Amino acid sequence: MTQLYLLFALLLTTLVAIFAVQNAGEVTVRFLIWTFQTSVVIVILMSAGMGALLAAVVSLPQTLKARRRLRESDKRLEQLTSQLGGTEGLEGFHEEE
């Protein structure tokens, strides 16, 4: 699954870069009280980068919660396994990426 995600991210990044380079004209950007001129390439790449950063920040709490629950589940599995008296048959049951 991680490789599929990486492949998709690489494809999307490549498409955004191609689009940005093909649209390399000058543009005036107005944001709040600032006004400046820059290349469309810079605007597109900065927008894509900020979107990726925002998506990562928004998904961070859920990711941390999932990792914490996984650690708790691993500890509970170890406790139950030790209560049963061994680990036969549980090798490779849970592998981290």
Complete DSSP assignment for 35-94: EEEEEHHHHHHHHHHHHHHHHHHHHHHHHHHHHHHHHHHHHHHHHHHHHHT--TT-TTSS
Q: Please count the other Cβ atoms lying within 10 Å of the Cβ belonging to residue 81.
A: 15
pLDDT of residue 41: 82
How many Å separate Cα 91 from the centre of its chain? 30
- Single pTM value for the model: 0.56
pLDDT digit string (tens) for 27-63? 888 889 989 898 888 888 888 889 989 998 999 999 8
